[in-house]
Amino acid sequence: MSDLTRLYFGIVTVESKDADGQWSGHFTKCPERLKHYCIHGSCRYIKEQSATSCRCDVGFMGTRCEHLVLDWQIEKQERIIIICAVAGLVLLILLLICICLCSQ
């Protein structure tokens, strides 16, 4: 049996070849009865713990990927508001300069 050690985001996982020569790692495919366990993501089965885990799609979180994450949309809105406020201030300053120059 040969082992392969991998490093993912600071987490070390050890994978090994079984008798058939197939790589076996920490996760396996979910059993058919748990196929739809994850609401917005893909199902993974943790062999050592006999537990189900979900890998959530972008924009979702939670144990079963059931929660929609709205933070990324709020951040975009805040950025647009700041850009509009700065553009408005620049236009106001330019308007004041034009008024001052024209009134002289």
Read off the pLDDT of residues 49-84 as tens digits, 9 standing for 90 and up.
888 889 999 889 999 999 988 776 666 777 888 999
Choice between 21 and 93, residue whose per-residue pLDDT is larger: 93
Which of helix, strand or coil describes residue 11? strand
Is the pLDDT score of 31 beyond 70? yes
- Beta partners for residue 68, in sequence order: 60
Is the pLDDT score of 88 beyond 60? yes
Band of residue 3 on the pLDDT scale cut at 50, 70, 90: very low
Tokens for 22, please give them.
Answer: 């197939």
Q: What is the pTM of this model?
A: 0.45
